[in-house]
Amino acid sequence: MKIKLESVEKHLKEKLKNSEFKEAYELERVKVALAQKIAEIRDEHSLTQSELAKRMNVSQQFISQIESGEGNPTLETLSKLAQSLNTSIRISFSKKSCRSGCLKVA
């Protein structure tokens, strides 16, 4: 049985009316966006998870958890990660202009 994308979007729109669900959904969406950006930057530097882990003096599994959106990396961890990738961190807050909220990870 195939589920139409239209049905999924309709279902999500309905679920987002629930404030608890919406809060959890937004948090997961932000975590996934951050995790994807970290993996993207590591890849741009042509590093494996193991190589980045060695630079940060952590395990490869720790990097894998960060890149899969598991856990909540602290600002200290993010700062150490940025330093290891010779990048900087920029955090910004802006008014929502999307229906279900927007996140831009630069």
- For 40-88, the pLDDT digits (tens) are 999 999 999 999 999 999 999 999 999 999 978 999 999 999 999 999 9
Contact call for residues 55 and 83 (beta carbons, < 8 A): no
Give the mean pLDDT of the chain. 87
> How many whole angstroms separate alpha carbon 35 and alpha carbon 63?
10
Q: Helix H segments across 16-103?
A: 19-44, 49-56, 60-67, 75-84
Contact call for residues 83 and 77 (beta carbons, < 8 A): no
- pLDDT at position 104: 57
